[in-house]
Structure 1
C-alpha cells in the first residue's frame, strides 16, 4: 500500500471512500473536467431544447452502459490509472461517474420545467390581453352603433 491510503475495510462511509481516491490521477482530472463541461453545456444551451434532448439521451445512455464501462475499466485499469478503483459492485463508477451525470440530467429536466412554466405564463398573458381587447372592441362597437329613435315614426 502507498502511504496515505487506507484499507478497504476501513471505509465506513462515503466521506472515507472519497478520501481514498487519488484525485490527482490524470484520468480523474479529465473526468471531472468532462462533468464540468457537461454542466456548462447544459446551462449554456438552456434555450436550445433540441440539443438538450440529444444531450439528455446521450447522458442517460452513458449511465445505462456504466456497468459495461465498469467491467471494461476493471479489466484494463493499468493502462490509465494508478490504482484499481473498479469493484464488482460499481460503487466507484456510480459515485464519480453516474451520479454527476444523473445530476446533469436533473438539471436539464429542471430547465425544461422552468421553460415550460415561462411559456405557459406568456401564453396565458397573451390570452388575457386578447380577451380584454375583444371585450373592449365589443363595448366600443355597442356604444358607437346608432340607435333608432322610436319617437320619429
Structure 2
C-alpha cells in the first residue's frame, strides 16, 4: 500500500472514493488530458456542425462501450496502472471516463441549441426587414396613384 492511499474498507462515500485514487498515475494524467483536449475541440469547432455531430457520435459510442472497456481494463490493469481500480459495478470508469465524456456531449448539445437560437433570431430579423422593405415599396408605388377613383388621371 502506498502512503496517502486509503484502504477499500475505509471508503465510506463518494468523496473518500475520489481521495483514494492516485491522480499522479501517468495513465490517469493522460486520460485527464484527453478530456481537456476533447472539451477544447468541442469549443473550438463550435461553428463546424458536421464535425461536432461526428465527435458527438464517437463520444456516445465510447460511453456505450465503457462496460466492455471496464472489463478489459479489469483484466489487464497491471500493464498500465499501479492499482486495480476497475470494479464490477463500474464506479471508477463512470467517474473518470464516462461522466466527463457525457458532460462534453452536453456541451455539444448546448452549443447546438445556442447556434439554433442565434440562427432563428437572424432569420426572424431578416423576415421583418424583408416585410418592411415590401411595405415601403408598396407605399412608394401607390403614392402616385389617385386615392379618389371618380377623378380620371390627366394625360398629356
- Give TM class, smaller chain: over 0.9
Question: How many Å separate the matches in 1 of 2:113 and 2:152?
Answer: 61
TM-score (norm 1): 0.95
Tell me the alpha carbon deviations over residues 106-136 of structure 1, each in whole angstroms, 9 at most, x when there is no partner: 0000000000000000000000000000011
Question: How many Å separate the matches in 2 of 1:63 and 1:20?
Answer: 24
C-alpha deviation, 1:30, in angstroms: 0.3
Query: What are the within-5 Å matches in structure 2 for residues 112-123 of structure 1?
Result: 112-123=112-123
Q: What is residue 20 of structure 1 aligned with on the other side?
A: 20
Q: What is residue 107 of structure 2 aligned with on the other side?
A: 107
Q: What is residue 31 of structure 1 aligned with on the other side?
A: 31
Residue correspondences, number: 152
Question: How many Å separate the matches in 1 of 2:45 and 2:65?
Answer: 25
Question: How many Å separate the matches in 2 of 1:38 and 1:151?
Answer: 73
C-alpha deviation, 1:11, in angstroms: 1.3
Question: How many Å separate the matches in 2 of 1:3 and 1:150?
Answer: 105
* Structure with higher RCO (Cα < 8 A, 6+ apart): 1
Query: What are the within-5 Å matches in structure 2 for residues 1-153 of structure 1?
Result: 1-145=1-145, 149-150=151-152
TM-score (norm 2): 0.93
C-alpha deviation, 1:146, in angstroms: 5.3
Which runs of 5 or more structure 2 residues have no equivalent in the other structure?
none
Q: 1:144 to 1:16 in 2, by over 3 A?
A: same
C-alpha deviation, 1:44, in angstroms: 0.1
Q: Please, which moves more after superposition, 18-27 or 139-148?
A: 139-148
Tell me the alpha carbon deviations over residues 17-63 of structure 1, each in whole angstroms, 9 at most, x when there is no partner: 11101111000000000000000000000000000000000000000
